[in-house]
Amino acid sequence: MKTCPAYHAIVPAAGGGARFGAALPKQYLSLLGRPLIWHSLAVLCGHPAIASVRVALAPDDSHWRKAEWHDLWLSLGRKLEVLFCGGKTRAESVRNALAAAKPHILPDDWVLVHDAARPCLSHALLDRLLTGVNDDGAGGLLAVPLTDTLKQDDGKMPPSVSRTLPRAGLWQAQTPQMFRYALLTDALTAHPEVTDEASALEAAGFAPRLVASEASNLKVTYPDDFALAELILRGRRDSEGRESNNG
């Protein structure tokens, strides 16, 4: 009897977050009293459809092993596997994690790759992705249509506007990005220069499906993004608390 494909998640987290200029890598900075990456992992570990979650850390990462965070990592449950296999690029980290997971994942199983610094993903958006991509052979990703006018600079310092770019039909890619294990492995092996998984599939000749997401699924890139992420998570937590009390 043919079994249904399982869902597995990979979170590449070997980067140092250089744009923050902080003593800690960005993924370990505090967000609502917990490391930023904890929030990104918690939503994946807590979703009933996700069978396993693998985080790919740098081989020399000493921060994960801090004693004060030990119980936090344990709170994420048994789905989580920690791999010290991160590479110099996102693509290398994901490819290394895929190789490490090979004994436990079937070729047709789904792999969801999620940013360590995207802590506001919700179970509702995860459900939307799983439903929206499950019947697509090329896989797909969460994304939002662009609404702002785009300006291209002239490459000088300070920069000036070179031209205005048409935004019609343009989407901003988010994560998770979801593809079949074998297809993603082959695409990243053939196209290691890409900056996200969808680009590897595109380079391999596929057209990943775009699943409409929300702006709340933001990536924490600059220090100011922390305040916005806190507002989103606090609002979600307060709303869940009210629903629980009313129930």
Between CA 178 and CA 119 the distance in angstroms is: 17
Please report the pLDDT score of residue 240 as a whole number: 77
Is the pLDDT at 245 greater than 80? The verdict is no
pLDDT at 7 over 90: yes
Residue 98 has pLDDT above 80, yes or no: yes
Describe the chain by its helix, strand, coil percentages, rounded to 5.
35, 25, 40
Strand, helix or coil for residue 23: coil
In this predicted structure, what is the pLDDT of residue 39?
98
pLDDT band of residue 21 (cuts 50, 70, 90) is low
For the stretch 100-145, pLDDT in tens is: 999 999 999 999 999 999 999 999 999 999 999 998 889 999 999 9
pLDDT in tens, 25-83: 999 999 999 999 999 999 999 999 999 999 999 999 999 999 999 999 999 999 999 99
Query: Structural domains in the chain?
Result: 7-246 (3.90.550.10)
Judged against a pLDDT cut of 60, whether residue 1 lies above it is answered with no
Residue of 202 and 1 predicted with greater confidence? 202
* Element of type H or E holding 185: helix 181-190
